[in-house]
Amino acid sequence: MGKQLEPEIVFLQAENAVLRAMVGRFERDKSDLEIALETAVEHGDAVESQLEEINRLMQDEISERRLAEKRLQKLLAILTQQKDDLELLLQTITEHSDQVDFEWLEKFDVAEQQARHDALTGVANRRHFDEYLAQQWKLSLRNQTPLAFILCDIDFFKLYNDHYGHPAGDGCLKEVAAALKRACHREVDLVARYGGEEFCVVMPDTNKLGAIEVAQRIQDEIHRIALPHAKSPSGTLTLSQGVVSWVPSSQHDANGLIQAADSLLYSAKQKGRNQFSF
């Protein structure tokens, strides 16, 4: 009987070995599963936190994009309005360009007149005179043509102003400026207020005889208006003049012309006023 049971025992022993191997494998799988589960539990919070952070960042980006879209819409609306305004302005300018050009030209002319002319008398101011004399000196030097210059001073003007008052003095200056303009018959002759009660005349291409002729016409115009002057020996307003005509050279400049006329003006006053010296 013992010998007959040996195969069965051997079989049972083999079967038990297989079962033990299977149990061992199951134990290992169970252990691995438990470790995997424990790892998942340990890192589950971190994964969830990362997912929440990603979700928050996405929400922030969506909000920023929506805000940017709103700003872009506002900007487009502003640009559209500006475009419409510019088109309307361009249309208005196109339709009224002639009138606009005329008005701006008129304003420019007024500004130019104010910048280059004496506000009281209307003749050229000192700035305009300086520019014109320098220009004509260069032309005369280049062409070797005579340039004449007259410097005038109202006789006893301070006494006139003190006796009749400043408003009358302003009126006197206006009368003298108008008289000088009437005496100059050419457009190229510039009458200017040199300063205070002094006036001057620049006469391009004018020789000695031509300069004397203009100086005499100035004297005649002043005598003709005959402004009363109670403090003058003549009883009326008079002028003294210094008259110069030069052909410019490289050894002189325009200031020399003025100084020569000023010296002659002083000479006319020393001789008794109401005259011109050449």
Catalytic positions: 197
- The 3-state DSSP class for residue 241 equals strand
- What φ, ψ does residue 200 adopt, rounded to 5°? -145, 160
Q: Any alpha helices (H) in the chain, and if so which ranges?
A: 2-95, 97-116, 126-143, 157-164, 166-183, 208-225, 254-270
DSSP 187: T
Query: Could you tell me if 246 and 252 are in contact, meaning their C-beta atoms sit under 8 angstroms apart?
Result: yes
Distances (CA, A) of 118 to 106, 192, 218, 226, 239: 19, 8, 20, 24, 20
